């Protein structure tokens, strides 16, 4: 039997009967770590520069028009992915989520945040929205040694606390995870998988490779021998995906560079489509 990945895109297509696209929105609030950023972060690699200082309605309309020029679209999800989207004044943030909720083309809302930024007053207010809400938590890794290396300034205890807190709500829950962190062993990866599988509140996993971008702190402090290359990452990814709970959806397999204006220093030849094809071929070989 062929191994099929339970993708998030297929989840939404099954749910709605048509393809659904995520619109990456910005609260236009800087990260709480702006003075001491995560070492992998180069901020303008993951947010469309055209969204800066626009209202949520304007951002949605701009992105929908941009998508319609390329593909036939079915429906849209408002994806607050910029920085830490639950950081800031609670009343102001809820007004942004409410604006997205009121937009007639939006089916659902996804809000990405850190495990140490889950203000209870906003979580309570999100139940006032008409459309389904997903909360994504950037845990990145469950290993404190790796969180320290990445300068995340939170701990695995914070990761678990975040999930325990969200267990009291009925949101769909996703987590962000980085694979290819130096000094994380296969045993460490297996512990991560076991932790994910045991936390049944988790519905979706967004996987990133540890991309070393020019201009990032990691590019300064990590020797090049510690940069994960494409072949090594795909082997690790196949191992990881095969051991995840089968009910989990997977929303991403590789790190994106939205604006394509930063150089990724890892040895990843080709583009994302090439990488996906290599992954699909590799996973078939392991059947």
Distance between alpha carbon 279 and the CA centroid of its chain, in Å? 19
The mean per-residue pLDDT over the stretch 199-222 comes to 94
pTM above 0.75, yes or no: yes
- Cβ–Cβ < 8 Å for 187, 151: no
Q: Give 93's pLDDT tier (boundaries 50, 70, 90).
A: very high
Express each pLDDT in 217-247 by its tens digit.
Answer: 999 999 999 999 999 999 999 999 999 999 9
Express each pLDDT in 118-166 by its tens digit.
Answer: 999 999 999 899 999 999 999 999 999 999 999 999 999 999 999 999 9
CA-based nearest residue to 234, from 195, 171, 200, 285? 285
The mean per-residue pLDDT over the stretch 59-86 comes to 91
The mean per-residue pLDDT over the stretch 90-114 comes to 97
Sorted by where each begins, the domain ranges of the chain are 8-285
* Higher per-residue pLDDT: 120 or 83: 120
The mean per-residue pLDDT over the stretch 240-266 comes to 84
Q: Does domain 8-285 have CATH number 3.90.1150.10?
A: no
């Amino acid at each position: 039997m062929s191994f099929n990945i339970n993708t998030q895109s297929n989840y939404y297509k099954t749910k709605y009967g048509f393809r659904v696209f995520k619109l990456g929105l910005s609260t236009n609030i800087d990260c709480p770590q702006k003075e001491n950023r995560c070492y992998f972060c180069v901020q303008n690699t993951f947010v469309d520069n055209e969204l800066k200082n626009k209202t949520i309605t304007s951002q949605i309309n701009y992105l929908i028009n941009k998508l319609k020029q390329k593909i036939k679209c079915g429906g849209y999800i408002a994806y607050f992915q910029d920085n830490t989207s639950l950081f800031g004044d609670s009343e102001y943030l809820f007004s942004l989520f409410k604006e997205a909720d009121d937009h007639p083309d939006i089916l659902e809302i996804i809000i990405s945040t850190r495990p140490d930024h889950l203000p209870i007053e906003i979580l309570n207010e999100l139940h006032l929205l008409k459309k389904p809400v997903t909360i994504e938590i950037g845990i990145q890794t469950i290993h404190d040694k790796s969180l320290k290396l990445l300068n995340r300034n939170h701990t695995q205890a914070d990761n678990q606390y975040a999930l325990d807190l969200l267990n009291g709500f009925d949101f769909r829950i996703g987590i962000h995870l980085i694979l290819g962190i130096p000094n994380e062993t296969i045993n460490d990866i297996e512990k991560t998988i076991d932790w994910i599988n045991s936390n049944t509140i988790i519905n979706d996993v967004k996987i990133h490779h540890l991309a070393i971008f020019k201009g990032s702190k990691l590019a300064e402090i990590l020797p090049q021998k510690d940069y994960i290359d494409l072949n090594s990452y795909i082997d690790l990814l196949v191992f990881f995906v095969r051991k995840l709970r089968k009910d989990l959806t997977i929303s991403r397999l590789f790190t994106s560079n939205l604006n394509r204006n930063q150089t990724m220093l890892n040895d990843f030849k080709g583009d994302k489509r090439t990488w996906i094809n290599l992954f699909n071929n590799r996973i078939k070989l392991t059947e």
